[in-house]
């Protein structure tokens, strides 16, 4: 006969009482509840809080032109801005809004309007609008979210 310690005896007694099918059922319902509540919580968070700079990078952006810092109403024909900003580009944004492209300061990002949470797939644009101020060149780059 094997002598078990007090803790080992308690564990063995509790293992006999463990109901595996009921545990599986509870875990399934917990998973289902989290799955059902995920989208409403994410949607509510999106509409109640501002986007962080890292969340801005989750969207794709296309250039909508640029203008001079001195005259914002005059658009420049030859725009030196990036044509597209995609989530997989090597772009980082600091907490202050400084945008770095390939570890080189590119400009200051200002989010004017958040992209739509429920994007209509028949439309090209999702409603977001941002500006990047390039103080080194003296221009403002305008971007729309796609």
pLDDT tens by residue, 96-114: 888 888 888 888 888 888 7
Candidates 44, 40, 64, 80; CA nearest to 124 is 64
Kindly give the pairing relationship between strand 84-85 and strand 91-93.
Answer: unpaired
Picking from 65-74, 96-105, 117-126, which range would have the lowest pLDDT averaged per residue?
117-126
CB 139 within 8 A of CB 76: yes
Exposed / middle / buried, residue 53 (Cβ in 10 Å: 0-12, 13-18, 19+): middle
pLDDT tens by residue, 37-47: 887 877 777 66
> Which residue ranges make up each domain of the chain?
6-48, 53-145
Chain position carrying tokens 């597209």: 84
């Amino acid at each position: 006969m094997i002598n078990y310690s007090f803790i080992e005896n308690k564990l063995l007694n509790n293992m006999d009482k463990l109901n595996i099918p009921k545990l599986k059922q509870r875990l399934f319902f917990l998973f289902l509840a989290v799955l059902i509540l995920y989208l409403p919580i994410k949607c509510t968070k999106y509409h109640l809080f501002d986007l962080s700079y890292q969340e801005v990078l989750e969207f794709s952006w296309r250039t909508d032109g640029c203008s001079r810092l001195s005259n914002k109403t005059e658009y420049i024909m030859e725009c030196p801005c990036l044509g597209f900003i995609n989530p997989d580009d090597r772009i980082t944004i600091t907490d202050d809004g400084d945008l770095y492209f390939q570890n080189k300061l590119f400009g200051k990002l200002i989010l004017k309007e958040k992209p739509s949470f429920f994007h209509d797939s028949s439309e090209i644009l999702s409603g977001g609008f941002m500006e990047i101020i390039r103080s080194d060149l003296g221009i403002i780059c305008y971007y729309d979210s796609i």
